């Protein structure tokens, strides 16, 4: 069965190639958008996220999203703040699917949760205590202002939930978040 499969795949490739050649010789009306999509895909396959040096991508499309750059920025900002790195999260995916993370916070420890995203992302963080009660939000409805960090002095050890969501923004997630701590 495997051999048959291989032969058929080979045939499929040959037919596919001839069709592709046919396409390039007769330019269809929508050539431009197709080429654009192809270029984005090519860029993605050629790029190694670990080797990327550009600091921030403001393009929210998944193809160009680089959460590591946001995380690096946050880590850089933590220097000399007294906070030590604990955990990082990549914020990626469709906007209608809020990102939920859980972490065990310890009593007597200060935690700083910082998130960075593209301009106009309206990224909102909500922090829930172990009983499921909301104890902080990075969005102030009175001033309609979004804050990039939440600092908490923890008095109860337990599993805390952090919810990242887009507020009136239907574009995809693209950002990073870091939990750091100090005693």
Q: Contact region for other proteins (CB under 8 A) — 27-35, 57-65, 131-139, 164-172?
A: 131-139
Per CB under 8 A, contacts with other proteins among 93-112 are 101-109, 112
Q: Say whether residue 181 binds other proteins (CB under 8 A).
A: yes
Interface with other proteins, residue 148, by CB under 8 A: yes
State the minimum distance, in angstroms, from the CB of residue 15 to other proteins.
5
Asked if 126 and 162 touch (Cβ cutoff 8 Å), the reply is yes
Buried (b) or exposed (e) across 133-157, using 16+ Cβ within 10 A?
A: eeeeebbeeeeeebbbbbebebeee
Strand ranges (E), 81-172: 84-93, 99-105, 110-117, 123-128, 134-137, 139-140, 145-146, 149-153, 158-166
84 belongs to the binding site for other proteins (CB under 8 A): yes
Q: Are 67 and 92 in contact (CB under 8 A)?
A: yes
Cα gap 76→85, rounded to integer Å: 10
Q: Which of 115, 150, 174, 177 binds other proteins (CB under 8 A)?
A: 150
Using CB under 8 A as the binding rule, whether residue 138 contacts other proteins is answered as yes
Contact footprint for other proteins (CB under 8 A): 1-2, 4-5, 8-9, 11-12, 15-16, 18-19, 71, 75, 78-79, 84-88, 101-109, 112, 127, 129, 135-138, 140, 147-159, 181, 183
């Amino acid at each position: 069965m495997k051999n048959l499969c291989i032969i058929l795949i080979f045939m499929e490739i040959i037919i596919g190639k001839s069709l592709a050649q046919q396409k390039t010789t007769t330019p269809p009306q929508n050539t431009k958008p197709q080429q654009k999509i192809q270029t984005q895909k090519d860029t993605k396959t050629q790029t190694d996220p670990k080797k990327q040096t550009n600091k921030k991508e403001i393009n929210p499309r998944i193809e160009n999203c680089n959460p590591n750059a946001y995380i690096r920025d946050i880590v850089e900002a933590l220097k000399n703040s007294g906070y030590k790195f604990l955990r990082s999260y990549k914020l990626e995916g469709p906007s209608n699917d809020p990102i939920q993370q859980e972490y065990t916070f310890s009593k007597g420890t200060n935690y700083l949760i910082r998130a960075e995203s593209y301009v106009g992302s309206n990224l909102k963080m909500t922090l829930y205590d172990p009983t499921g009660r909301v104890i902080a939000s990075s969005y102030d409805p009175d001033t309609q202002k979004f804050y990039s960090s939440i600092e908490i002095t923890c008095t109860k050890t337990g599993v805390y939930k952090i919810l990242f969501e887009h507020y009136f923004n239907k574009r995809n997630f693209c950002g990073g978040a870091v939990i750091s701590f100090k005693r």
